[in-house]
Structure 1
Amino acid sequence: MTAALLAMISAAVFGIADFLGGFASRRARVMAVVGLSQFAGLLLVAGLLPVLPGAFGAEALVWGMTAGLAGAAGLVLFYWALANGTMSVVAPVTASTSAAVPVVFGLATGERPQPLALAGVAVALVAVVLVSRTAEAPKAGTTARPVVAAFVSGAAFGGFFILLSLAPDNAGMWPLVGARLASLTLIVTLALATHQTLKPGPGSLPFIVGAGVLDMAANVLYLLAVQSGGMISLVAVLSSLYPVGTLLLARYVLGERLGPVQLAGVGFALGAAVLIAAG
């Protein structure tokens, strides 16, 4: 129950972080938002090391760095797919794949959730697809490449959750330090190679910092859920319900309207959380 609660809070915090990141992206270039938010997250996790101590070791850092590279690669592919494909296709493909991959991994490695929890996982996967749908019309000349990129992006995001879970349970927050160092290095290298600025746009810095701090806080909660003995097939899928939070904030803060499909997705997400927690 503790692991499930931590994962659900993680999803809520991820949702707020994504909302702030999306808001910041309207005022600054995407690479600047990603790079600076990653740096803010690194500062947070470094500050948490004395509070949530763990055993420093090469294994923890290596798993974390590998996870960070997977997450950063997934982010780059996701943005490329959004820019070159149709959002109503790319977003749900990425979201559902990122949720499904840890579930498949967990079951393949011997995890056996209760039937009620497994039913919750199935409902959660449906919820992720529904809340990620948009009413955007397909782009003219859309090819299969953005869809393939969306699948790979989702697999990379799912891999991030898996790789973090493979770090030693006594490692504390060191895997997240390794993850953020690796992802930040990759993003800065890409920015320099493509001559993209990391300078924030006017008025965007508070939103960027907020997004980075909350994103890392959500990662911390996820890692604590895993380290407390939570099954990755349950914890990761609960954390993957974060689009619900982003969607609700867009509705009540920005006044964006929710379609019937998205509203159904919110209902499915609530049902999934209840089933998994009860199981």
Structure 2
Amino acid sequence: MIASLLGLASALSWGTGDFAGGLASRKIGSYRAVMFSLAIGLIFTLAALPIIHETFPDKHTLLWSSIAGIVGAIGLLALYEGLRRGRLSVVAPLSALLGAAVPIVAGVFVDGQPQPIIFLAFALALIAVVLISIEKSSDTFSESVRNYLHLPLISGLGFGFYFVLMHEASRDLVLGPIIIARSSGTIAIALFLLIKRESFRIESGSWHLLIISGLFDVGGNALYILAGQAGRLDISAVLSSLYPGMTVFLAWFILKEKIQFSQWAGIGLALVAIVLMTTA
């Protein structure tokens, strides 16, 4: 029960952070939004070190956390770019489906073949992908969706592998793996910006979104790690992947983003598919 509650809390936190980060990416671009969001989250985590005392991470934690940070940064970058170019209610659920599926597949090698209900969940997920991607009343994939559909797919794979890598890195620690992961991710994005000779300048009207994004994103990370320590990898990862529900709700409530009936049905099926995965 504790692991499930922590996983759901992680989803709420991540969903809020992604909503703010998506809005920030529309103002300043995806690369800068991701880099500053990671950096701000790193500052919040470092500030917690004097309060929460942990042992120094070993080589195993350092290696897995560093790789996880780079993979996670790629996933977050793809998500923010998708949120910048497309609809929040389409991008976030598709990303979450793959993010939930990767830990399930990884669990096959650890716990054996999934139960039949998992196959049902994947079938619902495929139907959800089709429904969520329909924007026009003609019930066909719109050209705009096809133009950015690859981004949530890349994002989902990045998050899925991030879930697995961070679970391996955070057996006993919480802050240490987060600090290492966010450091490697921030450095990777910063180097990329330097190579591209992109500006690091941030408009004053974007800072509040970046702070919200960084705070809630690192909160989601901490809650996910605690959920994984309290329960199974697949359970904590899949429940954490419910974050699109929060993102879509905020897009509808704050941005007044219209969602068609077919998309509501697809979003509902996506969430049902994710929940079904936790019952295996």
Q: Tell me, in whole angstroms, the C-alpha distance in 2 between the residues paired with 1:264 and 1:41.
A: 34
Q: Tell me, in whole angstroms, the C-alpha distance in 1 between the residues paired with 2:104 and 2:26.
A: 34
Amino acid at match of 2:251: A
SS at match of 2:28: coil
Amino acid at match of 2:28: A
Q: Select which of 137, 145, 158 maps to 2:142.
A: 137
Q: Tell me, in whole angstroms, the C-alpha distance in 2 between the residues paired with 1:222 and 1:150.
A: 20
Q: 1:72 to 1:127 in 2, by over 3 A?
A: farther
Shift of 1:158: 0.7
The match for 2:97 is 96
SS at match of 2:204: coil
Q: Tell me, in whole angstroms, the C-alpha distance in 2 between the residues paired with 1:85 and 1:267.
A: 20
CA contact (8 A) 1:19 1:246 kept: yes
Query: With structure 1 as the length reference, what TM-score do the two structures score?
Result: 0.81
The match for 1:213 is 215
Shift of 1:75: 3.6
The match for 1:108 is 109
Q: 1:165 to 1:131 in 2, by over 3 A?
A: farther
The match for 1:24 is 24
Shift of 1:64: 1.0
SS at match of 2:20: helix
More off after superposition, 40-49 vs 216-225: 40-49
Shift of 1:148: 6.4
Q: Tell me, in whole angstroms, the C-alpha distance in 1 between the residues paired with 2:123 and 2:175.
A: 31
The match for 2:11 is 11
State whether structure 2 residue 54 is matched by structure 1 residue 54: yes
Shift of 1:51: 3.7
Shift of 1:60: 1.6
Q: 1:224 to 1:113 in 2, by over 3 A?
A: farther
Q: 1:37 to 1:262 in 2, by over 3 A?
A: same
Q: Tell me, in whole angstroms, the C-alpha distance in 2 between the residues paired with 1:122 and 1:259.
A: 23
Amino acid at match of 2:194: L
Q: Tell me, in whole angstroms, the C-alpha distance in 2 between the residues paired with 1:124 and 1:9.
A: 24
Q: Tell me, in whole angstroms, the C-alpha distance in 1 between the residues paired with 2:210 and 2:86.
A: 26
More off after superposition, 252-261 vs 37-46: 252-261
Identical columns (%): 34
Which sections of structure 2, spanning at least 5 residues, go unmatched?
A: 136-140
State whether structure 2 residue 216 is matched by structure 1 residue 222: no
Query: With structure 2 as the length reference, what TM-score do the two structures score?
Result: 0.81
Q: Select which of 189, 192, 204 maps to 1:190.
A: 192
Deviation string 1:186-235 (CA, Å, 9 cap, x unpaired) is 0100111111122212311011111111101001100110111x211121
The match for 2:251 is 250
Count of matched residue pairs: 274
More off after superposition, 161-170 vs 151-160: 151-160
Q: Tell me, in whole angstroms, the C-alpha distance in 2 between the residues paired with 1:67 and 1:97.
A: 16
CA contact (8 A) 1:29 1:200 kept: no
**CA RMSD across the alignment:** 3.6
Q: Tell me, in whole angstroms, the C-alpha distance in 1 between the residues paired with 2:25 and 2:131.
A: 21
SS at match of 2:202: coil
Q: Tell me, in whole angstroms, the C-alpha distance in 1 between the residues paired with 2:245 and 2:98.
A: 16
The match for 1:240 is 241
Amino acid at match of 1:61: L
